[in-house]
Amino acid sequence: MNKSGKFLFAADQKEADDDFSRVIGDVTPLSPHGRYMHPAIRRPALPLSRLRDEREVILESMTDPIHSYEDVELDGDAAFVRPGLSRQILRRLRRGEWLIQAELDLHGLTKAEAKIELAEFLHECKHQRLRCVRVIHGKGLRSPNREPVLKLHVRHWLAQRDEILAFVTARPVDGGGGATVVLLKGR
């Protein structure tokens, strides 16, 4: 039946199909089931086992207690230097002789979030071949009992990483007890 309600015969149907094809132009008919089948997209493989292993290592390391290191003084002026390096590096860091090339602010983050952010930050600094960075962890003035939450953890995490040569409490102009200046390995 057409729009006017009349029946179409085979010849009329053929003519109507030709008119339709002329108006529409070059088209590709749908598959017999009436659905368009999108071509399969090949996605790159995800290293799920590696991601799972990294997540487990991070979680496992966050449960480790903070150990006292011989070279880390956890009183007011913390300092760490990798064994075998001159303590002159600490003096130079305390004086601000290295230009701070980047900084990471961890204010407001949980311990788990801070650890992940710190790891990503250090990875990016290593990739960009930065030598001296500042990590702002806060003094703990707004935390319960006015004690720093992240300060000890950040210094513990830094001391565990191979790319860290040394770190000291920042100078007052650079954040004082609420920040740590870190010296990274060069090339």
Quote the tokens at residue 96. 């601000």
* 5 vs 46, higher pLDDT: 46
The reported pTM is: 0.60
Q: Which of 45-49, 78-82, 119-123, 154-158 has the lowest mean pLDDT?
A: 45-49
Please state the domain count of the chain: 1
Within a domain: 4: no
Burial (CB < 10 A; 0-12, 13-18, 19+), residue 163, is: middle
Within a domain: 11: no
The DSSP code for 73 is -
Within a domain: 45: no
- The boundaries of the domain holding residue 107 are 67-184
Residue 152 belongs to domain with CATH number: 3.30.1370.110
- Give per-residue pLDDT as tens, 5-18: 555 555 667 787 77
Within a domain: 141: yes
Quote the tokens at residue 25. 């132009």
Within a domain: 178: yes
User: Strands 102-105 and 132-136, how do they pair?
Assistant: parallel
pLDDT tops 50 at residue 68: no
Within a domain: 12: no
pLDDT value of position 122: 92
User: Measured between alpha carbons, how far is 186 from 129 in angstroms, rounded to an integer?
Assistant: 7
